[in-house]
């Protein structure tokens, strides 16, 4: 069985922060998010008017991945979002290549659809070609760079965008013209 079949995805809660921080520090030692950053994101993830969605993936008791999305602005009178940003996606090293990154991204895109986001943006390290290929499979296209975005290493970010003109089917990647992993 692959991790795609065995890992359980669910909403991230405050008690997930410690295992998320451990994986974050393992994967991104130079530019890991802080505990306060995760707390702040989760503060906007529940209740009326929530603008964030964070998910975790567990295999048994072990956290093997997580991802987060933020909605921004309002495009219409009914409150749909102008856009959404994939804030982070991370998969434990021993689960790379199992499909878990695609599963996390599919879940985040499902939430972008729920927010009625017209587009989804993300930044990915220019040296993370594995993640870039995932995002391209889902239809993200490069639109620019952010020089020195990842600090303290002064690594550039590739900015990618997905125009969400069609609703994705949950669990099914979008077509090549419509179809992301921070880690």
- Average pLDDT score over the chain: 86
What does each of the 183 residues of the chain score in pLDDT, given as a tens digit? 444 468 999 999 999 999 999 999 999 988 899 999 999 999 999 888 889 999 999 999 999 999 999 998 754 445 566 899 999 999 999 999 999 999 999 999 999 988 888 999 999 999 999 999 999 999 999 999 999 998 888 899 999 999 986 554 455 454 333 333 444
How far apart, in whole angstroms, are the C-alpha atoms of residue 75 and residue 133? 29
pLDDT tens sequence across 64-108: 999 999 998 754 445 566 899 999 999 999 999 999 999 999 999
- Burial (0-12, 13-18, 19+ Cβ within 10 Å), 117: buried
């Amino acid at each position: 069985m692959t991790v795609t079949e065995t890992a359980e995805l669910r909403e991230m809660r405050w008690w997930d922060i410690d295992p998320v921080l451990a994986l974050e520090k393992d994967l991104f030692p130079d530019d890991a998010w802080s505990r306060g950053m995760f707390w702040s994101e989760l503060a906007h993830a529940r209740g009326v008017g929530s603008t964030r969605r964070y998910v975790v993936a567990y295999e048994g008791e072990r956290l093997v991945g997580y991802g987060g999305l933020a909605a921004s602005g309002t495009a219409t009178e009914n409150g749909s979002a102008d856009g959404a940003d994939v804030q982070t996606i991370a998969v434990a090293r021993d689960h790379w290549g199992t499909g878990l990154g695609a599963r996390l991204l599919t879940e985040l895109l499902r939430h972008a659809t729920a927010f009625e986001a017209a587009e989804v943006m993300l930044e990915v390290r220019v040296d993370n070609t594995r993640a870039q290929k995932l995002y391209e499979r889902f239809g993200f296209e490069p639109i620019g760079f952010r020089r020195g975005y990842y600090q303290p290493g002064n690594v550039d970010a590739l900015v990618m965008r997905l125009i969400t003109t069609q609703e994705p089917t949950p669990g099914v990647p979008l077509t090549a013209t419509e179809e992301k992993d921070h880690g």
